[in-house]
Structure 1
């Protein structure tokens, strides 16, 4: 085993340790970032305070317009420290509206891409159906924009991306993760509470990351790139993902391939996580197309 380069490790700037506002700004070109609908606009949720929850003036979502590699872009970051990154009516509308404005720019001849920094446990329980409705709007806005310019998803922190926002992640043009990140439709605690400890032990961190972790999601082709927790590395990966442009076919459109992989798993005899790696490119399973 190669010895770690401690100087490189100690010299890097952790992306995970930044808050949402700093993460969004760190990805954009220096001096170009301009926040839209920031905390001084007081767009907080009207539903939290009546339920005994202190609201936040940006409702946990930061929208920053700027340039990425010299090109117009919008970075949208979910604040993981507020309500576990939960999406409510206001925060969801901020995301969907920012994506829709980027689509309008593209139609007006301004090629604007988007970066979604996804740290979310899903819809806030306090806002229930309102949150679900706005997540649907977010997904619709992602589909609309990705036809024009790349929508790049980034899942960096250990909170991960679950619930409705994991669907939005799956719709992104490309998805970038760190080894610390997690991705799943249902979180481990939800699975354990609904199906029992035998189905998923939410206290087993090794098990969780072997299934939901960034390395496994890249191996199973549900994410595209595994990147070091470093601001420079993540920015470079995002720039490269945008440069690749809009693919001829998005991952979410490869229904035959995805269905074949699900059907290959026998629920009565589930494989070990190490046995779930996606087949090599160039050899699509039967039923693809």
Structure 2
């Protein structure tokens, strides 16, 4: 075995999967050691008032963990969505926790406390059982991201296979920077929704290689819809967050380049099924 191979094996054995961690453990792992402090933790018993009415068992944190602490010594807040609870869906309470945390971070900045934010996005979008309340919460999250990113970078991380879809996919696009892994997915409509509406010939929701080839982390990064592509390794993700925060706010948010992206869509030939290579070619044009 060569020295390079031996080093790769050692690094693999020492790595710690980020995807396999729960939301609370993810937030704790990304904050500086000893700085984690959870806001509205499960003992506060702030749960959804709507799920029990429909015979659904609630979760004491409504599937959202909000923690304050520091990253690289600087004040930070992390909102982590638990994809294992109701598919990471956004309801009234969980959405309000995220929006409120971002709004308070913006207030910190106005008061001279340079608080940054990280969103750990494992979500299918709006919680159908809470319908318009969930949509309103997502709209508040989006508005809060736009407000905070004027002061400090807001970084979204999509790591696991739940992915980030629906209105929260739009929220991801509003972040100053977006970090993805190979396991991640990012989109507006999920595979099952597309298949249901357009038919299996258009989109086969059971074809996992096809789905990841179009909406997976590697493809989204290659298409310019994500800023960083990292391994499923907790240390790597933490290091990437530190690098991006040190880089500061981007000169131009991705969302302000909407005309360029709309032109890419207008240039797409929808008469044939696009594959991964065609999508990359479409998005890797002149980005000016």
TM (norm. structure 2) is 0.95
Matched, 1:242 2:268: no
**Change in CA separation of 1:250 and 1:201 when aligned onto 2, cut-off 3 Å:** same
From 197, 209, 212, the counterpart of 2:212: 209
Indicate which of 263, 279, 284 corresponds to 1:279. 284
Contact 2:145/2:171, CA 8 A, preserved across alignment = yes
Q: Distance in 1 between matches of 2:237 and 2:25?
A: 13
1:28 Cα deviation (Å)?
0.5
What residue in structure 1 maps to residue 29 of structure 2?
A: 26
> Partners of 1:261 and 1:240 in 2: how far apart?
30
TM-score by length of 1: 0.95
Number of residues of Structure 1 aligned to a counterpart in Structure 2 = 282
Paired residue for 1:110?
A: 113
Runs of 5+ consecutive residues of structure 2 not aligned to the other structure: none
Alignment deviations for residues 158-199 of structure 1 (CA, whole Å, 9 cap, x no partner) = 110011110100000000000000000000011001111011
In the other structure, the counterpart of 2:16 is 13
Deviation (angstroms), 1:156: 0.2
Cα deviations across residues 131-152 of structure 1 (Å, max 9, x unaligned)? 0010000000000000100000
Task: Give 1:117-156 correspondences, 5 Å limit.
Answer: 117-156=120-159
- Once the two structures are superposed, what CA deviation does each residue of 1:218-275 show, in whole Å capped at 9, x if it has no partner? 0000001110001100000111111111122100101221122111211113432112
CA distance in 2 between partners of 1:25 and 1:164 (Å) = 26
- Distance in 1 (CA, whole Å) between partners of 2:112 and 2:130 is 37
Verify the 8 A CA contact 2:126 2:167 in the aligned structure 1: yes
Report the Cα offset of residue 8 of structure 1: 2.1
Residue aligning to 1:84: 87
In 2, the alpha carbon distance for the partners of 1:261 and 1:3 equals 41
User: Counterparts of 1:175 and 1:196 in 2: how far apart (Å)?
Assistant: 31
The structure with the greater share of residues assigned to helix is 2
Q: RMSD value over aligned CA atoms?
A: 1.4
Counterpart CA distance in 2 for 1:258 and 1:24 is: 32
Match of 1:35 in 2: 38
- Mapped partners of 1:265, 1:3: distance in 2: 42
Aligned counterparts, 1:43-192, within 5 A: 43-192=46-195
Is residue 196 from structure 1 mapped to residue 210 from structure 2 by the alignment? Answer: no
Aligned to 1:220: 223
In structure 2, what is the Cα distance between the partners aligned to 1:211 and 1:3?
A: 31
For residues 172 and 120 of structure 2, what CA distance do their matches in structure 1 show? 10
**Is residue 27–residue 67 contact of structure 2 (8 Å, CA) maintained in 1?**
yes
Structure 1 residue runs of 4 or more that deviate by more than 4 Å after TM superposition: none
User: Is contact 2:202–2:273 with CA below 8 Å preserved after alignment?
Assistant: no
> Shift of the alpha carbon at 1:3?
6.8
Matched residues in 2 for 1:32 and 1:7: separation?
A: 29
- Show the counterpart of 1:232: 235
